[in-house]
Each structure stands twice: as C-alpha cells, then as structure tokens.
Amino acid sequence: MDKRECIKYLNSGTYDIEINNRALSQKEAIYGKEIFLRGIIEFSNFCRKNCLYCGIRKDNKLLKRYRMSIDDILNRVEQIIRSGIKTVVLQSGEDTFYSRDLICEIIKKIKKRFDVAITLCIGERGVDEYKAFYDAGASRFLIKHETSNEKVYEKLHPGETLKGRLKLIENLKTIGFQVGSGNIVGLPFTTTIDYINDIFLIKSLDLDMAGIGPFMPAENTPLKNFMSPSVITVIKLLALARIVLKDVNIPATTALFSLGGADALKSAIDVGANVLMPNFTGDNFRKNYRIYDSKKPLDMTIISELIEKKGLVFSNSKGERRKIYVRNNEIGEKKSHFCWEN
C-alpha cells in the first residue's frame, strides 16, 4: 500500500476485514504462529529530560524516584530466564548516574551468567558510549522517534530536534545494533498524516522493530488534559505497519494494553503484531515507573492466557527480525519462504 491508500484507510471510520486479513497473512508467512517475548526491567525512573508528555520527566517533583542495584537487575534477569524468555530489555529514563562503565558492567555481568540478548532502552548518549555498550555485549537498542512531525517534535522535546534523534538512530545502526524505533499515536498536535509518515519513516530507515502505541496522558505533566486516541486507530495503524514494514518486529504495546485491555492486545495480534513485552520490574519499583497514568502491568499470566486462546506459541528463540535471523544463520533467500523485496 502506498501513503495515499494508507491515509484513506486510516481516515475511514471502520476496519476493513481484507486489510486485517492481509496483515495477519503477512505476519504468518514470516513468523507462523510464533510470538516473541521480551522481558522488561525498568531499572531507573530518574530522567534528565523534560518531554512534555512523560510522567517521569525531570520537572515532575511529585514522583518518587528509584534506581535498581546491579543485584536487583540480575535477580530480575534470572526471573526472565526462568520464564523461558531469551531477550531482556533494560529500560530507564535518561539517567547519567548509570555511567558508561556502570552500564557496561551490568551488560557484562548479565552476559556472563545468562544466554540472553540484551536490548537497551536508555535514551540519548554519546556515540562512544553506544559503541562501548555494543562491545560489552548489548546487541539491540530501542529509541523511539516519537513523531515524524518536526515542528511537533521540537514543541514536545525542549531543546531537541527530530534531525538529532534520527542521527542517533543512524549512529546506532552503524555501530551494529539492531534498532527499534516507533511513534506515539495521538500525541497532541499530530495528525493521521503524521502517523502514516511515521510508518514510512521506519521503512526508509530499515529499522528492526516498530513500537506503535497510543498516547496516554500523565498527571503532573503539561499534556495531562489531552485525550488518548481510540483503540481502533491504533489497531488500523498496526495493520498498515505490518503490510508496509513486512518482517519488522511489531509489538502489541503495554500502552495499548493499558488503553484497551486484553481485547486490544488480541486485536493487535489479529492484525500481525508478533511481540509481547511482559514486565519484570517488580511491584515495588514498577508503580513508580509512571510514564503515563493507569499503566497496567502486563505479566506472564495475562500473556499465557492470550497466547493459549489464540492458538499461538511462544518462540524459544531470541526473537530476531527474520531478515537478521536469515543473515545470521546464512540461510539463502531461496530457502526462506519469504521474499524481502515483495
């Protein structure tokens, strides 16, 4: 589908069953019935930045802040491994307390003890730091572009530019990271055209994961009175993303679960989402990782029920994007049942 067709569909009132089926077929042709799991550990809610929509922004003085110790983190990684998950996401605000050396130490300790892929989601750092994290053993990095609308980006991220963010994404790719990005649907001041541009931006950057989730208002932020988008808008975008982005990993996000519950997750899977991200932060800390209000804990019980009901299976792999899996395992494209260029 081209941009014009995508915008027309997004602006129409209802689902198109044919588009939903096409998206699901696309996912099943690449990933079959498998769902990839990533265990998230939110290890610090300190942040030096002030994004207008975010509940853990620096100026939110009412939030109780926390940092996990290395032992706290290792204990949680162990829980993730015990659940049969082989990818860990270490997520935090932009917290420079965790220096380059400290992050490298955490990565090395995890890699020494566990056979697990490490994804970092820790925001903006210098290229030399990113390189050190990669050399220490982290292989994936999540950094959302948030919105492809440059003016809105600047309005909501004081002192920052979209160009700067995209440059960082390019740097991460050059270092060798598998990079995931994505946008916030319904971010104040954005439009349906922006959301389609977001998908095509991810395509043009050839990213490995596309996190497309709804805006959720957060108390004590300048955008606390803005509304979330409808679940249907998010689901339509996920279907379009699967069709346009083909083998890119697409999660059914925790924000979508918080907005629409398990039914929204089911709908996301029905249109080709192939990744779920259970939270292993632990109740004591998790309640203060309040990037938005009414954040619901997505745990293994909810996920297992969902997977069983849908007749799906957990993948026992590290959940690489198919293109990367094929490359790493030296499987020729002819042997693969999916053609990257179609």
Minimum gap (Å) between residue 176 Cβ and ligand SF4: 24
Helix and strand totals (H; E) in the chain: 13, 9
Q: Which structure tokens are listed for 251?
A: 């999660």
At residue 300, the 3 state secondary structure works out as helix
Pick between residue 54 and residue 234 the one whose CB is nearest to ligand SF4.
54
Q: Which structure tokens are listed for 254?
A: 């925790």
Minimum gap (Å) between residue 159 Cβ and ligand SF4: 11
Give the binding site for ligand SF4 (CB under 6 A).
Answer: 47, 49, 51, 54, 56-57, 93-94, 123
Dmax (CA) for the chain in angstroms is 57
Rounded CA gap, 205 and 195, in Å? Answer: 16
Beta strands 39-44 and 34-37 are unpaired
Minimum gap (Å) between residue 93 Cβ and ligand SF4: 4
Which residue from 99, 165, 97 is spatially nearest to 132, judged by alpha carbons?
Answer: 99
Pick between residue 54 and residue 248 the one whose CB is nearest to ligand SF4.
54
Bridge-partner residues for 314, per DSSP?
A: 35
Pick between residue 188 and residue 272 the one whose CB is nearest to ligand SF4.
188
Minimum gap (Å) between residue 261 Cβ and ligand SF4: 24
Residue with tokens 């049969």: 84
DSSP 279: B
Pick between residue 258 and residue 274 the one whose CB is nearest to ligand SF4.
258
Minimum gap (Å) between residue 272 Cβ and ligand SF4: 26
Pick between residue 195 and residue 215 the one whose CB is nearest to ligand SF4.
215
